[in-house]
Amino acid sequence: MTTDTIIDVAVPVAVFVMMFALGLGLTVADFRSSLKRPKALFLGVASQVFLVPVVGFLFVSAQQQDAELALGIVLLTLCPGAAMSNLLTRIAGGDVALSVSLTAVSNILSAATLPALSLLAAGHFLGTDALGVEFGDLTLRVVAVVTVPVLLGLAIRHLVPRVVEPHEPAIFRICFAVFIAIIGWSFMEVADTLQSGLILIGWQLALLTFLLLGLGLAVGQVGGLSEPQRTTIAVETGVQNSGLGLAAGAMLWGDTAGFPLFSTPSVVYGALTYAMTFPVVILLSRAWQRV
């Protein structure tokens, strides 16, 4: 299968499937639980939507790296974590209802923030005329792979709850397995890009991830949140959606031949994220157990 097919078909399908599973797992009880603690919800959304992209932009600006790779890292910071952040929150002993609500809200908001901020970043790093992608076209593509599946999952759960609820855990596991299989296979197909990317920017992405995890903990601490809520904010701030970042990079790349350089950071991040975040999550889990 060609690189174009992987980028244009396989990756968007994987993101759609995972977003659908996210929507299907949302419940009214999760939102009600989070709305009872609006400060935690507000701080979490603010961290994901504003803090993470700003820190990412400042980070790559300080590093003075290649413009395409810098743009790719900023694109990654515009892609809030999906089901993986919910899973990591559960392992770390965080507030799962808050995590699910944050993931849903931030991903729905990304239909506006991702196109707008990615084009602004492209104009900054590459020049205003460097891309032939229109804002409206980019927005429609993001809505198609992020917003539509989330809302579709929500609608199906609302319409047929008795059918969905008993089988939701199994459906989630199937969707997650499909997502991992497609993304993992895609990464293997671009192994050369992954290898060179690890050498070029692997350490930078690792440093940025640990920085964001720390900032997330700090936001929760300053905000006076409980330990589970601080853990949730840290995970949601530090974990990004590499699949969506890969798809977004391809959207900006347009019809240009070859693998989209804007997607390289997301490929590298996808390969590193488990090795970087799981140790932190396990340490947090053990720390809260001792308290």
Report which of residues 184 and 15 the model is more confident about: 15
Q: What is the tens place of the pLDDT at every residue in 33-51?
A: 777 778 999 999 999 989 9
Q: What is the tens place of the pLDDT at every residue in 200-244?
A: 788 888 889 889 988 998 999 999 998 889 889 988 998 888 888
User: Band of the pLDDT at 281, cuts 50, 70, 90?
Assistant: low
Output the pLDDT for position 74: 92
User: Band of the pLDDT at 251, cuts 50, 70, 90?
Assistant: confident
The one-letter amino acid at 5: T
How far is residue 193's CA from residue 3's CA, in Å, rounded to a whole number?
11
Which residue from 238, 142, 141, 242 is spatially nearest to 186, judged by alpha carbons?
A: 242
- Which residues, in sequence order, are bridge partners of residue 80? 240
Which residue from 83, 82, 274, 270 is spatially nearest to 169, judged by alpha carbons?
A: 83
Output the pLDDT for position 218: 92
Inform me whether the pLDDT recorded for 259 exceeds 80.
no
How far is residue 219's CA from residue 209's CA, in Å, rounded to a whole number?
15
Q: Which residues of 198-208 are buried (b: 16+ CB within 10 A; e: fewer)?
A: beebbebbbeb
Q: What is the tens place of the pLDDT at every residue in 222-232?
A: 999 988 898 89
The residue assigned the tokens 């901020």 is 117
Total-model pTM: 0.85
Q: What is the tens place of the pLDDT at every residue in 91-112?
A: 778 888 888 888 888 888 888 8
